[in-house]
Each structure stands twice: as C-alpha cells, then as structure tokens.
Structure 1
Amino acid sequence: MKSLRCFCVCSLLLLKVSTGFGDLRRPENVSMDSLNTRYVLRWDWPHETAINQTVTFTAQYILEYQSRKASNEKKWRLVCVNVLEHHCDFTGAILHYKISFLLRVRANTKQQSSSWVQISFCPEDHAALGPPSSVKLSPVKGDLEIIITDPLSSTNQSMKTLLEDKLSYLIQYWRRSEEPQKAKVLETKNNLVMLTELYRQTWYCVRVQSRDVLHNKSSVFSDTQCTHTEGQMPYWETFLYVLIGLLLFFLLLYFCFYKMFTLLKNTFYPAIQLPDHIQELLFSESEKPQLLSPECPVSVCVPLVLVRTELDAVAVNEESNAGEQDSSTHSRHSSGDSGVYSTEEDSSHRSTTHTDLQMSSQKHREKLHDGTLLELCA
C-alpha cells in the first residue's frame, strides 16, 4: 500500500515538472547586438502565453568547447538572473575577442521555466566594427591633414590591438559643392593622412570608414566634416573679384549722381513754371526767367511814324517862318538871288531835318531789362 502511494506521488511530481517545462513558451528571435566589444543579447517573448503571471528571464554563457561535455553543465556562468527586460548586457562578462562562446536564455515563472534557447557567438567573427572614435581636419599649406583615432573597445582599448593591425581606413573626400557620390577614395592603415593636390581656397568634406578586410567587416561612416583649404587665390579669380567689385562700385556711384542730379534739377528747374505774378514777387528784375538767351542780342526796330510826322511839321513851320523873314529882309534883292537863297535854305533845312531824325532815333534806343538792345528805327 505504501509503495502504491509513493508511485502515485512520484508520477504526479514528474507530470507536474514535465508540464511546467512544456507549457511555458521559450524566448524567440534571440540575437547578439554587438559593436566592437560591447555585447547585448536580445530576444522576443509572446506575452499572451503567461496571463496573470510574472515572467522573468535568465541568461548564461560558456566556452563553446566546454559545452561538448555533459559534465561541464556546472560551468555555465550566469550573467542575468530573473530580469524583466528582454535583453541582457554581456559587456561586463569580458568575452575574449577571438574565442567562440555559447549563450543561452530561458523564461521563468514561479511555477515553471521554459527550455533554453542558445546561440553561438565569436566576437571576432560576429561583432560589428565601429567607425573611428574621432576624425579631425586641419588645413596645412593648401593641403588637408586628417588625424584619425582608432575605434575603442569597452575598456577604451584600441581595436587595432585586438585586430592585430588588420584595421584599415577608407577615406572619402570631395568638394562641398559636389555630391558625395563623386567623392575620391583613399585607403590607408595610418592614423595621420595628408590629402594633396587640392584646389586652393576651397571647401572640402571628409568622412572615414573602419574596415577589417580579413573578416570582411566595414563600419558605418563617421560624421562628415568640412574645412577650407589655404593657399594663394588664383590670379584669374582675384581679377574676377576685383572686376566685380569695381563694377558694383561704379554702378552705386552712378546711381548716387543720378539721384542728386535729378533732385537739383527738380529743385532749381522745375517742370511746372510758376505764374507770372508769383515770379514777380519771388524774383528780382534780373532773376526773372527769360524767354530769350542773353547771348543773342536782337535789334527791334519800331517805326517812328508819329515822330517823323511831327518833325516834318516842325520843318514846314520853320521853313515858313524863315521864308517870311527872308522875304522881309531880302526884299531888296533881285528875284534871281532869292531863288538861289531859297534853294540853299531848303537844302540846309533838309540836312537839319535829317540830323534831327538821326538824333531822335538815337534817343529812342533802349536796352531791355535782360540786356537786349531795343533799337527804335525811324
């Protein structure tokens, strides 16, 4: 009877244990996210398989050659125990860069645990290579000096040491005005590189990629950096800049003179003339605007019809008076002599009349207010 009870209890325990391992889903998509010597194990796990249960995870590792013996089960080393996250950081485990390891992870609850999921991992073969830690550019006499710092491990050790000097760099450089697809390429193992045969006074951009040709690994490119080369500017470029500067200067000077000329012209010679009565108030006699230019004197002749008539009348009166006097004075003279005298007197009167007309004409010559000579002609 006791033996039957023991058999039943053992059967129930075995059934419970087998059920516990079979019901809980194990992690999925297990992979190692690595860069240089930084290693993080990641996985996925379906939450719906453990409703109302707290699920944790455990991760371990062992040297791959040690896992081949069943007796080495106790040599598995714990890295993460009952963690809630879906990742485990193996960086602190200090995995040797050239040795292969087995990594495993499982899900746990208070009542049961899933089966292990394991992967093989060798840092030298599987770890991604990082870009250079830093890239510095500096112009040197028309060339570009590039200082490259090696990618570093988690302990700040150069990856070149771990790769046994198999680390090299791929340098791309191009003019900033061009596309990166047209970049020139230079591969080197040196940390100090000098780029030559560059254009003077030109912006250049540089980016660097780490490479491990032996294991066919390449990093992403470093951040693009740009700098300006030194050196004397070409003569044609200097001449072009000077020519453009002079052209702009003369255009500005011409514009200023044009504006000033327009302002002065509109101020002193407006297009709209002031009325005559306003001009008489504003300007003096000599400042009034003239219709005729002072350089062109014009003689104006005004017929002196009335003056000539008056002079003729005066001449007739004088002749009559002179005739009367001559007749009274020279009545004793003969008729022949009187004819001669009258002729002489008549001619003298005519000459006197002509002389008076000339004097009268000269007296009527006037100068206009603008200096123009106005001649009154008889």
Structure 2
Amino acid sequence: MYPPTPVYVLVCLWWLSATCGQAELAEPMNLTMITMNTQYMLSWSHDGHQTIGPKVSFTVQYLAKYKWTNGAHDQWVTACDKTPDTCCDLTPRKLYFLGLYMLRLRANSGRLHSKWVIKEFCPDKEAALGPPSKVDLAPAGPLLDVKISDPLTSTNGSMKELHAQMYYRVVYWEHTDTRNPDTKIVDTRVNMLTLSDLQAWTSYCVSVQSRYDFYNKSSAFTTPHCMQTEGAVPWWQVMLIFFFSGLVGFVGLLLLLCFGVNCYRTVKDTFYPSVQLPAHFEAYLSDLSPGSDAPRLLTPDSESELICDRLSICPEAVLLEIHMSPLPSDLEPDGRSVHSRQESGGSGDSGVYSTEGSSGPRQHSGSGLSSACAKEPWHGESPALPEQVKMEHMGLKHEAAAAHRGLRDEGIMDMGV
C-alpha cells in the first residue's frame, strides 16, 4: 500500500488548478465610458466569446474612491451581475456628478473568473456636455429673437445647475444657396438673445452650441433653424388690407340688415297680422260670459263646469221639402173650375161638402183639412213628425192666400209632396 498523501500536498494541488483555470479566461479590454450630461455607460471588449465551454458573462462593480483609498474593499456595489452584454448602464445608480468613483470589471465562465480590471471615473470631468434641448426663433420686426432651452439631465433637470459657468455659442448666417455662407458668432450666458444686425424681409439660419471652458467641454451644434425677418409694411399692402377689410365689413352689414328685416317681418306677421279675423269671430272668441259656448279653459273651482256621466249624440232632423204643384189647366185665372159639373143637372154641387151629422155652416175642404191639422191633436202612437208640421204650416199659408184673393171654394186644390 501507498502511504497516505499529506494534506498540504492536496491544498497545493487545488491552488495550482484554480490558478491555472483563472489564467485560461481572458480579461476584458478597452474599457470606455460613453457619457452625455448625467447618463453614463461602461463599454468593453473581450476575446473569451470564442472559448469552447460555458458562455462568458461579466460583472461590473463600483466604489467611491475615498472608500477604496481607505481600504474598504468589501463595500463594492454591483451594478451589472453576470450580464452577457459588453456594456453596463450606470445611469440608474445616480452617481454623484461631482464625485470620483472606482469601477472594476471581470469575466465569468462557469466556475472560472478572470482578473478584475479597474478604471477610475470622474463624471464632472469626463461626462460629455450635450447641446441645448430646444432652440426657438421668432421675428421681431427686422430683428430675430432666439430662445435657448438648457441641456437636460437624466432626471429632466438643467445642466446649468451642475455647470454654473456654462454658456452658449450662437452661429447665424443669411440663408442662401452658397456652400460657404458668411457666418457670424455670438456667445451668451442667457437663454433669450436678440440678433439685431439683420436685414428686413430676409431669411436667416441659426445653430447653437453648449460650452464649458473649465474642462474644455463643447457640445455638438443643434440642427439649423431658419426664419424670415419682418419690417415696415409697404403702403400698397396697407391700402389692400384696408380695402378688403372694408369690403368684408360692408358685406357683413348687408347680411345683418337682411337678417334683421326678415326677423322684423316674421315678428310683425306673427303678432300683428295684416289679415284680421271677421268681427263676429272676434266677438265670439272674446265672449267670456258663463252662457257662451266659446272655447276657454275651465278652472277647477269654476261653477260652470258640467260633469256628465253619459254623453249621447243625436243626429240632426232632416226636414222634407214640399213642392206645390201648379194649378190645373182646367182652372181659369180667377180660380174657377171649368168643370162646374153643370152636367149634373144644375144641382148646384160645387164641390162643397157638408159636415157629417152637423147643421152648421159648410166648410171648405182645403180649409177643413188645414184646420183639422192645425187644431186637432195627434192621437197616434208617436208624436207628430217635423215633416207633418211643415205640411200643416204650408196648408194654412195657402188657405190665407186664397181667402185674400177672394177665391170661392168651388175647385179642388191638389198638393204634391
């Protein structure tokens, strides 16, 4: 049997294997800070992506430099843990802009780790300065107003709060087709600038740059903005504007007058119509006496209101017309009949009949009928009809007319209904 292996020999072998394994994993290279105002991103490159085995990942940590100097190496803060990307965004960590930090980075592949690569970072010195967030132009007669908005931080704050000495360089030129226009430069620390050495009714272009001389920082220029200046309005333009204004006002006045006339006529025809109601219609509608049948509203306490349980509608009675037949052709104009019944032997029968069972004076047949209708009441089952009453009335009128003309009761009168 072999003697047992000493413990220290095993420890040495483990250390050698770990050291050799770590040496096989390459370190990250080309560490670069990509910054803009308060946005920070660490970028690097690595050759370990071609290594056969587990996929390579990276770990990024940061620590304030004063802590690192004091030996507090156990207070590193991890910003990106085992990320497969070759960049790490440090903006969410909200690093103090005027502070100084130590950054370290290593590669991971399974249980293998590369050495830490350390980089120092000072945001105030290394962070790039961005251009103005917005530039607006506005004409002011022959002048041009330029409004500049400050660059913004990651929390939408102004970079002037971090760079108090920051200023702007304004470059402007006349907008022409030439490739190399004559440019003019103005530096200002205010956000509102007026360009005065300009010509009226001329187009100019403006571009602005942010600058900070302490660390010699300068941003890129903004996209050129172009605007035309104004000036005194020519007299012909004033006259043209005045003419069109007067024309529009005149047309508007005519339309207003037409509308007013139509409204006046409508109101007048409604409340004061030219065609009035007849006098008897007005009297009928204005009659408010209790016995009047004019339409009106009845109040709840009105005594004239009649409440009926049942309503019956009776048709209107129709009166028959009675036509008097013409006199017979055998009557003479004086009312005497040519048929005097002389052939009866001169008995003197002239059509007069005596009353049955009476010795009184003889009555005219027509008058007897009329008198009987006028004086004798109706003994039937139903009362006299309106047609019968009308016939009786007309018989009486005919008898009176005959008596007035002196006609004798010698003829027979026929009535046709």
Please indicate the TM-score interval, normalised by the length of the shorter structure: 0.5 to 0.7
Structure 2 letter corresponding to 1:16: S
Which runs of structure 2 are paired with 1:44-63 in the superposition (5 Å)? 44-47=45-48, 49-63=50-64
C-alpha distance in structure 1 between counterparts of 2:181 and 2:9, whole Å: 76
Rounded Cα–Cα distance in structure 1 between residues aligned with 2:222 and 2:3: 75
Alignment check: 8 A CA contact 1:200 1:233 kept: no
Deviation at 1:67? Answer: 1.2
Q: Give distance in 1, aligned partners of 2:183 and 2:14.
A: 70
Alignment match, 2:84: 84
Aligned partner of residue 11 in structure 1, secondary structure:
helix
Matched residue, 2:230: 230
What is the TM-score of this pair, normalised by structure 1?
Answer: 0.59
Tell me, in whole angstroms, the C-alpha distance in 1 between the residues paired with 2:3 and 2:228: 94
Contact 1:174 1:180 in 2 (8 A): no
TM-aligned CA deviation for residue 142 of structure 1:
1.5
Structure 2: give runs of 5+ residues left out of the alignment. Answer: 238-417
Whole-Å separation in 2 of the counterparts to 1:39 and 1:186: 31
> The residue matched to 1:151 in structure 2 has which SS?
coil
- The C-alpha deviation readout for 1:181-212, integer Å capped at 9, x for no partner, is 62100000000011112111111000000000
Matched, 1:33 2:48: no
Q: Which residue does 1:214 correspond to in 2? A: 214
2-side partners of 1:217 and 1:37: how far apart? 14
Question: Which 5+ residue runs of structure 1 have no aligned equivalent?
Answer: 239-378
Name 2:339's counterpart in structure 1.
none
For the residues of structure 1 that align with 2:3 and 2:167, how far apart are their CA atoms? 75
Alignment of 1:297-312 (within 5 A): none
- 1:174 aligns with 173
Deviations 1:294-352 (A, max 9, x none): xxxxxxxxxxxxxxxxxxxxxxxxxxxxxxxxxxxxxxxxxxxxxxxxxxxxxxxxxxx
**Structure 2 residue aligned with 1:42:** 43
Equivalent in the alignment of 1:199: 199
Calculate percent identity across the aligned residue pairs. 36
Q: Distance in 2 between matches of 1:88 and 1:48?
A: 17
Match of 1:10 in 2: 11
Counterpart of 2:40, as a letter, is Y
1:2 & 1:76 partners in 2: Cα distance? 46
SS at match of 1:66: helix
1:180 Cα deviation from its structure 2 partner: 5.7
Higher mean displacement: 43-52 or 217-226 = 43-52
1:145 counterpart residue number: 145
Letter of the structure 2 residue corresponding to residue 82 of structure 1 = K
Report the CA distance shift for 1:181/1:25 in structure 2 as closer, same or farther (over 3 A): farther
Write the mapping of 1:46-195 to structure 2, written as runs, cut at 5 A.
46-47=47-48, 49-70=50-71, 72-163=72-163, 165-177=164-176, 178-179=178-179, 182-195=182-195
Structure 1, residues 76-132: CA drift from partner, whole Å, max 9, x if none?
Answer: 111000000000000011111111111111100112000111111111110000000
Q: Which amino acid aligns with 2:16?
A: L
Structure 1 window deviating more from structure 2 (3-12 vs 179-188): it is 3-12
1:233 deviates by 7.1
Taking a change above 3 Å as real, the CA distance of residues 170 and 196 of structure 1, as seen in their structure-2 partners, is: same
CA contact (8 A) 1:25 1:49 kept: no
Distance 1:137 1:14, change over 3 A: same
Return closer, same or farther for 1:192/1:7 CA change in 2, 3 Å cut-off. same
CA separation in 1, counterparts of 2:3 and 2:88?
Answer: 48
Q: Give the letter aligned to residue 174 of structure 2.
A: R
2: distance between equivalents of 1:208 and 1:180? 18
Q: Does the aligned pair in 1 maintain the 2:49–2:55 contact within 8 Å?
A: no
- How far off is 1:2 after superposition? 9.0
Which protein has greater RCO, CA pairs closer than 8 Å, 6+ apart?
A: 1
Instruction: Give the 3 Å change call, closer, same or farther, for CA 46–28 of structure 1 in structure 2.
Output: same
CA offset digits 1:336-370 (Å, max 9, x no partner): xxxxxxxxxxxxxxxxxxxxxxxxxxxxxxxxxxx
Structure of greater Rg = 2
Q: Tell me the distance in 1 between the aligned counterparts of 2:181 and 2:105.
A: 44
Return the structure number with greater helix share.
1
SS state at 1:222 partner: coil
Partner-residue secondary structure (3-state), 1:148: strand
Distance, in Å, in 2 between the alignment partners of 1:125 and 1:181 is: 35
How big is the shift at 1:51? 1.9
Q: Post-superposition shift, 1:214? A: 1.4
Match of 2:114, SS state, is: coil
**1:185–1:233 distance in 2 versus 1, CA, 3 Å:** farther
Q: Distance in 1 between matches of 2:166 and 2:93?
A: 24
After TM superposition, give the deviation of residue 11 of structure 1 in Å. Answer: 1.6
Deviation of the 1:50 alpha carbon: 1.7
Q: Distance in 1 between matches of 2:196 and 2:4?
A: 92
CA apart distance, 1:223: 1.1
TM-score normalised according to structure 2 size: 0.54
Query: Which residues of 2 match residues 335-350 of structure 1 at below 5 A?
Result: none
Q: 1:184 to 1:166 in 2, by over 3 A?
A: same
Q: Which amino acid aligns with 2:13?
A: L
Whole-angstrom CA distance in 1 between matches of 2:190 and 2:207:
15
Contact 1:201 1:232 in 2 (8 A): no
Displacement, 1:16?
2.0
Q: Pick closer, same or farther for the CA change 1:157–1:180 going to 2, 3 Å.
A: farther
Residue number in structure 2 paired with 1:20: 21
Q: Write the distance in 2 (CA, Å) between the matches of 1:97 and 1:195.
A: 35
Q: Which amino acid aligns with 1:160?
A: K
- Conserved in 1, the CA contact under 8 Å of 2:26 and 2:48? no
Counterparts of 2:179 and 2:135, CA distance in 1: 20
Distance 2:233 2:29 in 1: 63
Residue 150 of structure 1 and its aligned partner are, at CA, apart by 0.4
* C-alpha contact (below 8 Å) 2:174/2:181 kept by paired residues: no
